[in-house]
């Protein structure tokens, strides 16, 4: 048990809050903690649940006819017994006006009869009438050293069950990764994942790290709002963008270190602005791969809900889930589509303004190692509050690739398809596709492969050139928009390449 956690809860109860809220899935741990509190403070402890009714902790008999929460609260209100009353999973009943009033009356009579009501549930939203009478308490979560301690315990337990047996295989690097990724989880959830990893094949491996990440993500309530991207590109798959790669390389060690240990601020995030198909999304994936951390994708469309307040709550839940997965990269693709509205916010009832406010508050206040990578195609639709200096560590402009980068992109896509790169004139191909984006170059290679298959021929430079000539790139069809984007980025953003 964390002694600081015990002392913090004692101080909170002594502060004479009549209502305490504890959101947790670890009910046994909460009850054990409260037993220690009441033993130290010599106070009686009562629990209520819909199955057992009201009873004094560790005594088998319940108070008769108190399975109904209203009857249990009436009993508490009438008794002169001071003490701590723990209400387990009472959250579904808090919308009932009778329950609400009974809780309020008990809380308001605290000065006369000090009874502390402690609500314990996985999720708690208290009505406004009770908020000013309440305080929240959060259980401490695991840090990396705590995870390593659990790993040692589980290793020893497994070896004892095997009667000694062979040593469990695993590298220090894998243990460090598991410690990083399980930090922030509850003790029991982390213990179960460690146990599964060890007992599956008597070793800790990179496959276990991937499985732990997937299970951790799925176990979170907000996992439906965030997508865990397991197939991340490396920077070897990204053509050009030398300035961006260098910037990220200089910050990798600081981001992965414990906050404050390097004496430098933890990197917060970047905005990638540029032409569609220029490789912004690929770069976002490559950041996570290069830093060796999970990549979470936030889709704003999944957040929006027709009921007032639900969209903002969904965003808060998604951001909290990202923090629980830290260290990680949080990728918001085409962020302007989720935040764009008219200046007054009248077109959507002010929803986008409230969502923007929630996001900006989190960006300013977060302490966790969540690196935000936002991509945008249309700077005109982005709120000025988001792009002002200081919101992101840096704004990079991803322009159409130059000749050298176009050669590199051809090399990447030909190699990926196991084609003999030396058989192609990369310089000539790069000259033929000036103004093409990386995505358009890739599509030309794909189309040329289909053409070669149709005529039963080997793919050569000529077929790719033919496909390039048949294509009208975005730089032609959307020339005015691209020129506007370049004008804005000039002097305001750092070239990615």
pLDDT for 23-68, tens place per residue?
A: 888 888 899 999 998 888 888 999 999 999 999 887 778 889 899 9
Determine the pLDDT at residue 237. 66
CATH of 403-477, one of 3.40.50.300, 3.20.20.70, 1.10.8.60, 3.40.640.10: 1.10.8.60
Residue 436 near residue 406, CB atoms below 8 Å: yes
The CATH number of 3-136 is 3.40.50.300
Taken in order 75, 77, 79, 82, the sign of the CA dihedral is: positive
Instruction: Specify the domain boundaries for CATH 1.10.8.60 within the chain.
Output: 403-477
Q: What is the percent of the chain with per-residue pLDDT over 70, rounded to a whole number? A: 91
Mean pLDDT of the chain: 83
More reliable by pLDDT, 142 or 20: 20
Residue 160 near residue 116, CB atoms below 8 Å: no
Rounded to an integer, what distance in angstroms lies between the CA atom of residue 225 and that of residue 203? 33
The CATH number of 144-219 is 1.10.8
- Say how many C-beta atoms besides its own lie within 10 A of residue 168's C-beta: 19
Q: Is 316 exposed, middle or buried (0-12, 13-18, 19+ CB in 10 A)?
A: middle
Which residue, 458, 404, 398, is CA-closest to 433? Answer: 404
Q: Is 468 exposed, middle or buried (0-12, 13-18, 19+ CB in 10 A)?
A: buried
- Say how many C-beta atoms besides its own lie within 10 A of residue 138's C-beta: 11
Q: Is 14 exposed, middle or buried (0-12, 13-18, 19+ CB in 10 A)?
A: exposed
DSSP 8-state code for residue 343: T
Confidence of residue 197 (pLDDT cuts 50, 70, 90): confident
Structure tokens at 324: 């629980």
- Beta strands 269-274; 370-376: pairing state: parallel
pLDDT digits (tens, 9 = 90+) for 228-262: 776 665 666 677 778 888 888 898 888 888 777 77
Instruction: Specify the domain boundaries for CATH 3.40.50.300 within the chain.
Output: 3-136, 235-398
Model pTM score: 0.65
Determine the pLDDT at residue 230. 66
Q: Give the SS3 label for residue 181.
A: helix
CATH of 235-398, one of 3.30.360.10, 3.40.720.10, 3.40.140.10, 3.40.50.300: 3.40.50.300
């Amino acid at each position: 048990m964390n002694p600081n956690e015990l002392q913090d809860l004692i101080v909170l109860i002594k502060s004479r809050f009549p209502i305490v809220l504890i959101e947790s899935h670890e009910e046994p741990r909460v009850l054990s903690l409260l037993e220690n509190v009441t033993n130290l403070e010599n106070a009686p402890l009562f629990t209520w649940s819909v199955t057992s009714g009201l009873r004094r902790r560790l005594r088998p008999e319940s108070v008769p006819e108190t399975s109904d929460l209203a009857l249990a609260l009436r009993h508490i209100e009438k008794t002169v017994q001071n003490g701590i009353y723990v209400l387990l999973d009472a959250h579904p009943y808090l919308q009932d006006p009778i329950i609400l009033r009974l809780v309020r009356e008990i809380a308001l009579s605290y000065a006369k009869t000090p009874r502390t009501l402690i609500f314990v549930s996985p999720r708690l939203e208290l009505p406004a009438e009770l908020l000013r009478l309440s305080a929240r308490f959060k259980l401490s979560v695991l840090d990396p050293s705590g995870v390593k301690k659990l790993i040692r315990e589980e290793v020893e337990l497994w070896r004892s069950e095997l009667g000694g047996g062979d040593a469990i295989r695993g590298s220090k690097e894998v243990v460090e990764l598991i410690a990083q990724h399980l930090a922030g989880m509850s003790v029991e959830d982390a213990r179960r994942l460690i146990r599964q990893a060890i007992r599956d094949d008597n070793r800790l491996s990179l496959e276990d790290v991937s499985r732990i990440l997937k299970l951790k993500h799925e176990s979170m309530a907000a996992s439906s709002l965030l997508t865990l991207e397991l197939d991340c590109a490396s920077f070897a798959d990204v053509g050009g963008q030398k300035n961006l790669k260098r910037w990220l390389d200089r910050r990798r060690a600081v981001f992965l270190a414990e906050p404050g240990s390097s004496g430098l601020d933890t990197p917060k995030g970047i905005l990638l602005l540029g032409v569609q198909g220029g490789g912004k999304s690929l770069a976002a994936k490559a950041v996570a791969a290069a830093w060796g951390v999970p990549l979470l994708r936030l889709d704003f469309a999944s957040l929006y809900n027709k009921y007032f307040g639900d969209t903002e709550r969904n965003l808060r839940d998604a951001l909290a889930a990202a923090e629980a997965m830290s260290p990680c990269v949080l990728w918001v693709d085409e962020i302007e589509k989720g935040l764009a509205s008219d200046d007054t916010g009248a077109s959507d009832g002010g929803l986008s303004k409230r969502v923007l406010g929630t996001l900006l508050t989190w960006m300013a206040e977060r302490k966790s190692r969540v690196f935000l990578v936002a991509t945008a195609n249309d700077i005109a639709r982005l709120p000025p509050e988001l792009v002002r200096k200081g919101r992101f560590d840096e704004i990079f402009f991803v322009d159409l690739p130059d000749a050298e980068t176009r050669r590199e992109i051809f090399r990447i896509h030909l190699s990926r398809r196991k084609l003999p790169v030396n058989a192609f004139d990369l310089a000539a191909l790069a000259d033929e596709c000036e103004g093409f984006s990386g995505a358009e170059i890739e599509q030309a290679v794909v189309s040329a492969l289909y053409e070669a298959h149709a005529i039963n021929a080997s793919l050569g430079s000529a077929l790719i050139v033919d496909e390039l000539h048949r294509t009208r790139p975005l730089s032609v069809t959307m020339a005015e928009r691209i020129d506007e984007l370049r004008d804005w980025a000039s002097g305001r953003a750092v070239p990615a390449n």
